[in-house]
Amino acid sequence: MLTLDFHPTGRHFLQIPGPSPVPDRILRAMSLPTIDHRGPEFGVLGHRVLKGIGQIFQTKHPVVIYPASGTGAWEAALSNVLSPGDSVLMYETGHFASLWNKMAVRLGLKPEFLGLPGAEGWRHGVRADMIEERLKADTQHAIKAVCVVHNETSTGVTSNILAVRKAIDAAKHPALLLVDSISGLASAEYRHDEWGVDVTISGSQKGLMLPPGISFNALSPKAMEASKSAKLPKAFWAWDEIVEMNKTGYWPYTPNTNLLYGLAEACDMLLAPEHGGLEGTFARHRRWGEGVRAAVKAWGLQIQCADPAVYSPVLTGVMMPDGVDGVDADAVRRIIYERFDCSLGTGLGKVKGRMFRIGHLGDCNDLTLMGALAGCEMGLKIAGVKLAGSGVQAAMDYFGSHPAPVALQKAA
């Protein structure tokens, strides 16, 4: 029998920016017996999850559900609308934008990678003005797609997608808008239709509170049209057969049934009117972000995101101060893990060792965050980091004086 926790007792604080903690309610749903994916019960399930996930993406168009983790959905988005050698404009918000760019190269596309220079560039959101300028210069419309990350998981920056849409429109450019909202969806505000996104990519293990293993492409009619002539080879990822067969509530190949059980439950939880629906979900995460940032500021440490307009409600990146001898961010993380049974996100790519990330996404609440912040504060001190003040105190001040947006549901 597998033993997965090296700590003697109590519940692990999983405060990485995904996978987020899976609520018991979802784990229980996932433990329902696997059924025949060609049988009558399955069609009921299929219709239900397709309807629910559409509401989460805020779209009336098809959402393709892949029995594959999020990286696959990146590939799916590119493969369905692009052809070998196509130019695409990507924007470097951080490590995940860089990985997506690397994938585009690997698939035989020609990505151009916009962005501000150096590690400092990773502290800002997408510059819609730079995109507009670049598209205006592309008078031949060689660029087939603009690819941006909504919530950059490696930094804690949530870019303004509507601004990117407006930039493309202002440039009168026909490029498709492809957006990765793997870590943003269902925590940060997101409106696929209203914001004019052509393909939104997302995954299960963040705001949807599911284990990893299921991912999504939300489509626009324009993207579906583009997919008819796109030439990158595709079979598993091909939208056409899936969208067609989904009309009946079924899939052309074996879906991952038990994760769909979890997805049905997750949609019920996220959309529950008594908790304010999707807007209530967004409001809760905004508030948690505020509280955590209050703590970081009180410690006297820098927030990775340098622009308050694009602070992430999903996670907060915390930069290590200079001059802490021999102690990088990962050493602090290790102390917090070993001493206090709390996992934090590591610094990735350009910022490795120089920052750590606190997740406040998915199934969270005030006291869980208070526990995590206490773990951070104790761990930073043990590591010898000088703190300006108590972040825990600041977070208590914030949470104590700012009630959650939707009041406690009383028993019926």
Considering only residues 262-321, where is the footprint of its own copies by CB under 8 A?
264-265, 268-269, 272, 274-276, 280-281, 284
CA 405 to chain centre: 22
Considering only residues 149-188, where is the footprint of its own copies by CB under 8 A?
none
Q: Which is nearer to its own copies, 125 or 362 (CB)?
A: 362
Considering only residues 102-141, where is the footprint of its own copies by CB under 8 A?
103, 106-108
368 in Cβ contact with 291 (< 8 Å): no
Q: Which is nearer to its own copies, 140 or 412 (CB)?
A: 412
Phi and psi at 93, nearest 5°, equal: -90, -20
Q: Residue 86, interface with its own copies (CB under 8 A)?
A: no
Least distance CB 321 / its own copies (angstroms): 19
The helix (H) or strand (E) run that includes residue 302 is: strand 302-303
Q: Residue 205, interface with its own copies (CB under 8 A)?
A: yes
Pairing relationship of beta strands 63-66 and 215-219 according to DSSP bridges: antiparallel
Output the CA–CA distances (angstroms, integers) from residue 269 to 205, 218, 228, 258, 312, in the order listed.
Answer: 15, 20, 36, 17, 22
d(CA 270, CA 184): 14
Considering only residues 24-63, where is the footprint of its own copies by CB under 8 A?
24, 27-41, 43-45, 48
# residues near its own copies by CB under 8 A: 123
Output the CA torsion sign for 84, 99, 180, 62: positive
Q: Which is nearer to its own copies, 124 or 333 (CB)?
A: 333
Q: Which is nearer to its own copies, 89 or 264 (CB)?
A: 264
Least distance CB 305 / its own copies (angstroms): 21
Considering only residues 312-371, where is the footprint of its own copies by CB under 8 A?
337-343, 346, 363-368, 370-371
Give 274's DSSP letter: G
Q: Which is nearer to its own copies, 184 or 375 (CB)?
A: 375
Considering only residues 388-407, where is the footprint of its own copies by CB under 8 A?
390, 392-393, 396, 399-400, 403-404, 406
Least distance CB 378 / its own copies (angstroms): 4
Least distance CB 190 / its own copies (angstroms): 18
Q: Which is nearer to its own copies, 65 or 175 (CB)?
A: 65
282 in Cβ contact with 151 (< 8 Å): no
Residue 127, annotated as binding a ligand: no
157 in Cβ contact with 184 (< 8 Å): no
Q: Residue 229, interface with its own copies (CB under 8 A)?
A: no
Q: Which two tokens stand for residue 102?
A: 């690397």
Phi and psi at 218, nearest 5°, equal: -95, 135
d(CA 89, CA 181): 17
Binding residues: 357
Binding residues for substrate: 357
